[in-house]
Amino acid sequence: MNNFSSEISFKTARSGGKGGQNVNKVETMVEALWHVASSRFFTDEEKELIQAKLQKKINKEGQLAVRSSEARSQLENKAIAQNKMERLVAKSLIKPKKRKPTKISKEAKEKRLDSKKKESMKKEMRKPPPLM
C-alpha cells in the first residue's frame, strides 16, 4: 500500500451533538481531503479505479473527503479520519475476481430429473381413472 498520507490536507470545524461547552468553542471535527487526480503515489489506472469506486465520496473539486467527529480531541479525530481514508482507498484498489461459470454435475442433473419424474407420477396418481 502506498503511503499517500503526506498528500492529505485537513480542515476543522465545530462538532455537533453532545459535549457541553466544549462543543461550542473548540473545533474538534476534522475533515480529511485528498486530491485523487494529482497524487504522486498511484498510477493512472489506480487513480481511475479509486475515482470509480469512491465517486460518491469525491467532491466537485476531485477531492476525496472523509469526516470524523467521534473523539473529543482534534488530534484523535485527525488520526481517525486519516485511518478511514487509508482503509477506503485500500479497499477501492482491490479488484474483484472474475467468476468462473461452473457445470452442473451429471449426478445433480439426474437427481433433479428423478425428483421431477416422482412429482409427476404423484400428481398423475391423483387424477381420476379415464372413463371407458
Average pLDDT over residues 94-120: 93
> From CA 24, how far away is CA 35, in angstroms rounded?
30
> From CA 72, how far away is CA 69, in angstroms rounded?
7
pLDDT for res 22:
65
User: Cβ contacts of residue 53 below 8 Å, gap of 6+?
Assistant: 92
> From CA 49, how far away is CA 53, in angstroms rounded?
6
As given in the structure block, the three cell numbers for residue 46 are: 489506480
As given in the structure block, the three cell numbers for residue 124 are: 398423475
Sign of CA dihedral 99, 101, 107, 113: positive
Beta bridge partners of 72: none
As given in the structure block, the three cell numbers for residue 41 are: 503515489
Nearest to 77 by CA among 29, 5, 18: 29
Q: What is the pLDDT of residues 76-98, one digit of tens each?
A: 999 999 999 999 999 998 888 89
Confidence bin at 27 (pLDDT 50/70/90): confident
User: Cβ contacts of residue 50 below 8 Å, gap of 6+?
Assistant: 36, 42, 64, 89, 92, 93
CB atoms within 10 A of CB 26: 15
> From CA 90, how far away is CA 20, in angstroms rounded?
36
For domain 5-92, say whether CATH 1.10.3080.10 is its number.
Answer: no
Confidence bin at 132 (pLDDT 50/70/90): confident
pTM over 0.85: no
